[in-house]
Structure 1
Amino acid sequence: MIIVRAPFRVSFAGGGSDIASFYEKNGGCVLSTTIDKYIYLSVHPSFNANETILRYKKSEVVQEISEIGHDIVRACLQKKNIKNIEIHSDADIPAGTGLGSSSTFTTALLTALNSYKGQKTDKEQLAQEACEIEIEDLGNPIGKQDQYAASYGNLNFYRFQKDGSVSVEAVKMSSADKEKMANNLLMFYIGGVHDAPQILSEQSKNIQEVSKEKNLIRMCELAEKLKVELESGNIDALGEILHENWLLKRTLARGISNPRIDEYYQLALEAGALGGKLLGAGGAGFLLLYATQDSKEKIRKALKLPEIKFSYDTEGTKVIYEEK
């Protein structure tokens, strides 16, 4: 048996610029971190040599890989030419809530399958392979940031070049500054699940409009500015940058925000939050806020929403158990 752990991510600025329709023209960049909330995935040979078995929120038992309903699993097994295997997955947080779950699942599964075949995969290869599966093979209208975040782990600045290549830079902060940043972040569950591909597909079309393209260019500038501010020790700048980034992002597609999300965000600001954003493509999931210590309790009382406590993940996707 092989067990793999892959982290979810929290994106702070620049999200949406990792979509090909934008970065091929303008280049893109995102600043994000992975957090200590994970997908766990195990693989082992199937007891019945003629069956491939999947256990996730559904169960599947098939004789042929082409019969698998889960598109990511089907694509990964076909690419790796593996069958007659049993795959189980579980997660700390539900899918469709804005933390990059589909790409996190993909990196976990690819890592497990590579290990199953006795192969080691470095972080860059893993991220590239996950992008190939999701974007090229399956044709999902999504970006590249989630695959890279899950693969590399940690607090990083990602630059998406016009030729499709990606550079990864660690955000250089002192331990004290990283701790302050983590302590000043709040994450609340608004509820629901979103349709990320649908929202991102609309966003990809919309950025052909000059005004929306300019907004996304500004979001890239904010990601670059945030890197400079964090590395300079100006941690509270995160609040202002999150706020401006969110105001810009919500203009990119209809499904990104809604009156309920807007109401919660306004309540948070009135209670003392310095800024925030809805995580992921939009429409549902988690509201991320930045606030000083003296405002955190006021915000909790104002929102009355379930809070998810989290810290940084520094390892990315990794094998945590392998039976010899």
Structure 2
Amino acid sequence: MVISKTPLRISFFGGGTDMQQFWREEEGCVLSCSINKYIHVIVNKSFDRLIHIKYFEQEDVDSIDKIKHDLVRETMRKAGIKGGVEVVILSDIPHTGSGLGSSSTLTVGLLNAFYTYCGKKVSKEILAQQACEIEIDILGKPIGKQDQYIAAYGGLNKIVFKPNGSVQVQQVEPIYNMLPALRKYLLLFYTGIGHKSEDILEEQTRLITHTRPVLRKIKEQVNDALKILSGEDLEKLGTLMQEGWRLKCQLASKISNNFLNELIERAFKAGAMGAKITGAGGGGFLLLICKPELQDSVRNKLGDLKEFSFDLEAGGTEILMDSENLRFA
């Protein structure tokens, strides 16, 4: 039996510049951090020769080609597993439309678990690369590349996407000592609305020729944020996030809506300094930057939303259990 644990993420700045239509022409860049909410993947030899998959649905099939779950199917193929396994997927968040990178987190976690089950040790770089290949090249999803890398590596990172397709993961070590202070300023609420990120991202992709100037400003915010963090001026970070959200809403028509705008306005009136909808937008989670002494006021104003307790995570995907090699985390 093998159990992998892979973190979800919060993307602070630069989202959208990790999409191929942008970085093929000029360098993209994001600032992203993993959080202590996870997707666990359990892989075990099945009691028969069938493939048994359990997530929010259940599949019992006799051939990999019959698997409906596209990420399970393609990660099994990539790892070279043809059958005879039981796969269980457990997630700390709603299974769709979270905006916390759950699809890529799952892809990385599946690859890590399947390769370990096969007795193969694969680097974080390869896990991230192959997750991108599966989601973007094989399955044709209109997504970027940041989520796969943050899930594999973990921590707070500046991730740079080069026009030649290479990716540089730069851990933001010099300001790691201020992460506890940053965490005290962050609030996360579930809006109660799932979203179809692919619909939003397809429109965003079509418009990149026209929105490239906006995306350049979004990219510039990454270095602005790093300067602010190095000076530990978290109020300025809130102002920067507020501007980033305004820019992001120019990338596609469904990134925000009246309901989300009203939630953000309520949060600002209660004392929040910065706000954004995580991921592609349209629903999922609301991330806020707010002084600790004003957070109860914000909670009261958003009392109809479920607060999502979390912390920032330093690690990426890992194997918790590998019974074949008697290895336990």
Please classify the TM superposition score into its range, dividing by the shorter chain length.
over 0.9
Secondary structure (helix, strand or coil) at the match of 2:253 reads coil
* Per-residue deviation, 1:176: 4.8
Q: Which whole-Å deviations, capped at 9, do the CAs of 1:134-193 have from their partners, x for residues lacking one?
A: 111111110000000100001111011111111111113455521110011000111121
* Per-residue deviation, 1:231: 2.4
Higher mean Cα deviation, 106-115 or 226-235?
A: 226-235
Q: Which residue of 2 aligns with 1:152?
A: 153
2:18 aligned with 1:14:
no
**Aligned-partner Cα distance in 2 for 1:245–1:140:** 24
**Aligned-partner Cα distance in 2 for 1:284–1:178:** 26
Question: Which residue identity lines up with residue 149 of structure 1 in the other structure?
Answer: I
Q: Which residue of 2 aligns with 1:104?
A: 105
**Aligned-partner Cα distance in 2 for 1:284–1:207:** 22
2:116 aligned with 1:136:
no
2:196 aligned with 1:165:
no
Question: Which residue identity lines up with residue 145 of structure 2 in the other structure?
Answer: K
Q: Which residue of 2 aligns with 1:268?
A: 267
Check conservation: 1:172, 1:231, Cα contact below 8 A.
Answer: no
Q: Which whole-Å deviations, capped at 9, do the CAs of 1:17-41 have from their partners, x for residues lacking one?
A: 1000011112111101100000011
Q: Which residue of 1 aligns with 2:39?
A: 39
* Per-residue deviation, 1:79: 2.1
**Aligned-partner Cα distance in 2 for 1:225–1:23:** 20
**TM-score (norm: length of structure 1):** 0.97
Secondary structure (helix, strand or coil) at the match of 2:271 reads coil
Check conservation: 2:13, 2:219, Cα contact below 8 A.
Answer: yes
Q: Which residue of 2 aligns with 1:24?
A: 24
**Aligned-partner Cα distance in 1 for 2:12–2:57:** 32
**Aligned-partner Cα distance in 2 for 1:185–1:10:** 11
Secondary structure (helix, strand or coil) at the match of 1:163 reads coil
* Per-residue deviation, 1:237: 2.4
2:328 aligned with 1:303:
no
- 1:26-105, aligned counterparts within 5 Å? 26-49=26-49, 51-82=50-81, 83-95=83-95, 96-105=97-106
C-alpha root-mean-square deviation of aligned residues, in Å? Answer: 1.1
Question: Which residue identity lines up with residue 84 of structure 1 in the other structure?
Answer: G
**Aligned-partner Cα distance in 2 for 1:123–1:81:** 18
Secondary structure (helix, strand or coil) at the match of 2:173 reads coil
Q: Which runs of 4+ in 1 moved over 3 A?
A: 173-176
Question: Which residue identity lines up with residue 74 of structure 1 in the other structure?
Answer: R
Q: Which whole-Å deviations, capped at 9, do the CAs of 1:82-103 have from their partners, x for residues lacking one?
A: 1211100011111321000000
2:145 aligned with 1:124:
no
- 1:173-322, aligned counterparts within 5 Å? 173-174=174-175, 176-209=177-210, 212-304=211-303, 305-322=305-322
Q: Which residue of 1 aligns with 2:327?
A: none
Check conservation: 1:239, 1:290, Cα contact below 8 A.
Answer: yes
Question: Which residue identity lines up with residue 308 of structure 2 in the other structure?
Answer: I
Residues 300 and 88 of structure 1, relative CA distance in 2, 3 Å threshold: same
**Aligned-partner Cα distance in 2 for 1:233–1:271:** 23
Check conservation: 2:3, 2:113, Cα contact below 8 A.
Answer: yes
Identity %: 41
Check conservation: 1:8, 1:37, Cα contact below 8 A.
Answer: yes
- The alignment covers a number of residue pairs equal to 321
Check conservation: 1:242, 1:277, Cα contact below 8 A.
Answer: yes
Question: Which residue identity lines up with residue 152 of structure 1 in the other structure?
Answer: Y
Structure 2 unpaired stretches of 5+: 325-329
* Per-residue deviation, 1:233: 2.7
